[in-house]
Homo-oligomer: A and B are copies of this chain.
Amino acid sequence: MRTQDLDLVRALPLFKGMADPRFDELFRGAFLQRFPTRVVLISEGERADFLHVVVEGAVELFAAHGGRETTIDIIQPVTTFILAAVIQDEVYLKSARTLTPAQVLMIPAEAVRGVFGQDAMFARAVVSELAQRYRDVVRELKNQKLRTGIERLANWILQNDALSGGKGTFSISSDKRTIASLLGMTPENLSRNLATLATDCIVSEGREIRIVDRDKLIGLASPDPLIDRS
């Protein structure tokens, strides 16, 4: 593992405040692994063996049931995932697979739980992380229950633009079918919804999306600080 990557991990809110010996203990049994695209890293229902950290690439969290499948989140570097299952020593509720070639750091769950009991700063950071994630899922649930498909798309575009600097242009980071699933619609309807927005307020060319009438887009989206991560 490159030192700069390790530094990035060390600087994560989750690990930032903890004592060096504890950090070392945590990483003694950890290993960094490279994966090609579309490799399943964890499957829902399995016991939580490792805390995962995406160091490079993108990872999709998804869940399946009765022939259907839905994307729950797309994890960008540098971020941990499935902390709750690790802490609770329970089974994963979501599966994970790489969307791109990726580097993932895997920390044994037992070590995480061990250090959690010893390092108060770490325990505190775990609480913050869990609380933050909890609130993010609540936001997503509100997004799904209170908005129509095209409203979710409009907000997603506004958020992605903001995340990439608010330049009014950004590039979709993965398959459109994955985005459709994340937004809770079929790929066909994502196409149609993009086409609808394209008559008014955006230009959609391949994976490039450009906002041409931001006010109109905002009017359609009705962004809400109690739903959208600001």
Can you list 15 A-B contacts (CB < 8 A)?
A45-B225, A45-B226, A63-B142, A65-B222, A70-B142, A72-B141, A87-B127, A116-B127, A130-B131, A130-B134, A134-B134, A134-B137, A137-B137, A137-B138, A141-B144
Q: How far is the CB of A44 from chain B (nearest CB, A)?
A: 5
Of residues 71 through 90 on chain A, the ones whose CB sits less than 8 Å from some CB of chain B are 72, 83-85, 87-88, 90
With A93-B135, A93-B139, A130-B131 given, name 12 new contacts (CB 8 A): A65-B147, A70-B142, A72-B142, A83-B131, A87-B131, A88-B128, A88-B135, A90-B135, A91-B226, A116-B127, A123-B124, A141-B141
User: Is the beta-carbon distance between B63 and A146 smaller than 8 angstroms?
Assistant: yes
Question: Cβ of A93: which chain B residues have Cβ within 8 Å of it?
Answer: 135, 138-139, 142, 226
Residues 103-138 of A, flagged 1 when their CB comes within 8 A of B and 0 if not, give 000000000000011001001101110111111011
A57: interface (CB < 8 Å) = no
A146-B88 contact, Cβ under 8 Å, with A126-B127, A138-B94: no
A49: interface (CB < 8 Å) = no
Contact-residue bracket for chain A: 35 or more
Point out which of A91, A120, A137, A145 has the most chain B C-beta atoms below 10 A from its C-beta.
A145
Q: Is the interface of A mostly helix, strand, loop or mixed?
A: helix
A66: interface (CB < 8 Å) = yes
Identity of the chain B residue whose Cβ is nearest the Cβ of A130 in the assembled complex: B130
A167: interface (CB < 8 Å) = no
> Complex Cα distance A172/B141, Å?
24
